[in-house]
Amino acid sequence: MTYEVVTYRPELKRQVTELQRHLWSPDPALNAAYLEWKHEQNPYVEAPLIHLALHRGQVVGMRGMFGARWQVGDPPRTFLAPCAGDLVVAPDHRNRGLVLKILETAVNDLANGEYAYIFSLSASPATQLGSLMAGWRGAGSLELAHRRPPETAGRGDPWAAAWRRARRLDTASGRVERLVDRWGGKPRPFRALDRNGTRGGLEASRHVSLEPAQRPKAMAALVERIGGDGRIRHVRDREYFAWRFRNLRSLYRLLF
């Protein structure tokens, strides 16, 4: 089968959001909003850095690079280095070397532009292997960590036993609320945090506030006061904070 790798064009947006049902969300409308936030509204690039694989004019593969600004050194110097992500291939076109073809085209195009570096911070094992085959180099070991809820811990764990007893002593209304969350309601991962955040009477509650939205100016001012130690990291300025937490595929709570 023949494929053509092209750069993103607005007229292909609908096809991209449909293709990303295999990676982002089953809802094309949410996928469109996510694409707009991550790539079209990205503050560090003028146009989306997306490469698409076409077969007979249809989008069957995608690799995105979202803009990112980094700093390193003391005093810090900044530079642009896109981050790779959003790699997906339609099921009927997998295992045909298409991923490698997209990766090679994307890297060659970006290498001929203004970018000296490209980072990949969230590659799956398969994507990592494909990237290494395409000439990428490993810069360090980074693994995904999980926090295991106490109720799923082993039966011999005393903390898990205490947790289970506390859950059994919960009120009937609390049990009903959890059932609604699980079976009929919208995802509410911050239910307990929001409920406890409204409680007063503690010394800390007079100084700490729980909010769903960011304060870009104040957050950037805090980062500037703290300073840095010269290690490489993403620039955390007002522009970054104003953009970063508008991701519609995530829910946020911030403590100030």
CATH of the domain at 91: 3.40.630.30
116 and 11 part of one domain: yes
Report H helices in 93-144.
Answer: 98-111, 125-133
**What is the reported pLDDT for 180?**
47
126 and 218 part of one domain: no
160 and 219 part of one domain: no
Is residue 12 in a domain?
yes
105 and 204 part of one domain: no
110 and 207 part of one domain: no
Q: For the chain, what is the domain count?
A: 3
9 and 126 part of one domain: yes
25 and 49 part of one domain: yes
Query: What pTM did the predictor assign?
Result: 0.79
109 and 161 part of one domain: no
**What is the reported pLDDT for 25?**
92
Q: Is the omega angle on the peptide bond into residue 75 within 30 degrees of 0, that is, cis? A: yes
Domain membership of residue 104 as a residue range? 4-133
Backbone angles phi, psi at 89, to 5 degrees: -130, 135
126 and 196 part of one domain: no
Rounded Cα distance, 121 and 110, in Å: 17
173 and 224 part of one domain: no
Closest CA to 104 of 125, 78, 84, 77: 84
54 and 167 part of one domain: no
Report H helices in the chain.
Answer: 13-19, 28-35, 98-111, 125-133, 158-168, 172-179, 191-197, 216-226, 238-244
Tens of each residue's pLDDT in the chain, 256 residues: 799 999 999 999 999 999 999 999 999 999 999 999 999 999 999 999 999 999 999 999 999 999 999 999 988 999 999 999 999 999 999 999 898 899 889 888 888 878 889 998 888 887 888 788 878 888 877 677 777 665 555 556 666 666 566 555 554 445 545 544 554 456 677 888 887 776 666 666 678 888 888 999 999 999 999 998 999 999 999 999 999 999 988 889 998 9
Contact 84, 49 (CB under 8 A): no
Q: Which tokens hold the place of 232?
A: 């490489």
Is residue 148 in a domain?
no
Is residue 150 in a domain?
no
9 and 128 part of one domain: yes
